[in-house]
Structure 1
Amino acid sequence: MLERSDQVGCNGFRFAGSSCRCQTHKLRSFTMSDVEEEYEEQAEEQQEYTEYQEEERPRPKPMVPQLAPPKIPEGERVDFDDIHRKRMEKDLLELQTLIDVHFEQRKKEEEELIGLKERIAEQKRGKRLTGREIKRKTLSERRSPLGIENMREDGLRQRAQEMWNWIYQLESEKFDLLDQMKRQKYETNVFGWIRENQIKL
């Protein structure tokens, strides 16, 4: 027959008239004041830890009704199974609420991420449009409008001479640049041959 004793073994019970059968644990004797002190210390540590967590980040409020702690009857018999069952139910409810809050938060974050991706894509499209607009602007600056609708013969001749001078200048610049490119290409080839010959020697 099992009975509660002041000497507690590895499982909290002992056989009447004999000691704990476990070889790895030694028996310790507890008094009620020692147990109460341990519970108070654990409660203080738990309270400090929860205060630290609350300071660190705000925790979502659980949406389940808070269960009252089980009342321990004043008689000799205490139903530890009932206390354990209620504690497990409370832990399960807290875990379920935390899981629900986590998934709701994750869903919101995914929606924000999708919105952010869409905004980035829209901005890229906007940048492409602005790039095209910049191109059009530079082309329009390079191509000045003729404005020859209301000109007389002298004005048209003067405008034609300006355009011919401008084309002549562009062609001469083009010729100079092509000549410079040919010289640079020749020099790079010559330097390449010289380097190859120096390496061989």
Structure 2
Amino acid sequence: MALSDADVQKQIKHMMAFIEQEANEKAEEIDAKAEEEFNIEKGRLVQTQRLKIMEYYEKKEKQIEQQKKIQMSNLMNQARLKVLKARDDLISDLLNEARQRLGKIAKDPVRYATLLEGLVLQGFYQLLEPSVVIRCRKQDLPMVKAAVQKNIPIFKAGVKKDINVRIDQDNFLPPEISGGVEIYNANGKIKVANTLESRLDLMAQQMMPEIRVALFGVNPNRKFLD
């Protein structure tokens, strides 16, 4: 039985509707697949960038922490240097004050004469030379002469040697020296500095550890005491 034109048109419409439906479903499937792949790629990219950002800021945080440690170390070193300088300045001020007080020693004739005797005799023993030259302050000349006369027999009895002593009356110690003597061997190449200033400096050097402990207490970081 032959189909009528109406039936043919109807079948054609059905086929077209089926094809259109298939195409729509296929297009939807493609869209869904593309959306899924897009979301997966987007998530991958987001995760990758998030890890990069986290790594970047973690690195920055470590750099900042390192800079903070360096800055803190520098500040502590600067503070430590300031403390050390302040301590050194205090000790220097104390020594300067002690030097200023040295002049008072020479104002006590009895005490100063005894001190000169000891300084002269010590110089003899330190040099152990057959001939020595003594330099002193001009105003101390009589006391030094007396100290020499007193100490020559003591030295001879102690070392069983003679000693020739000359007091240099052409070159006296400068006026800023508070007192004491300088004793040289015959050719002037060896000197024993027994001025009050030199004795103070020597004493300060030897007693510096005790001075620091007395002023600032025991240093907990110090391992050796000598």
TM-score (norm 1): 0.36
- The structure with the largest alpha-carbon Rg is 2
TM-score (norm 2): 0.33
Of structures 1 and 2, the one scoring higher in RCO (CA 8 A, sep 6+) is 2
Identify the structure with the greater strand proportion: 2
Identify the structure with the greater helix proportion: 2
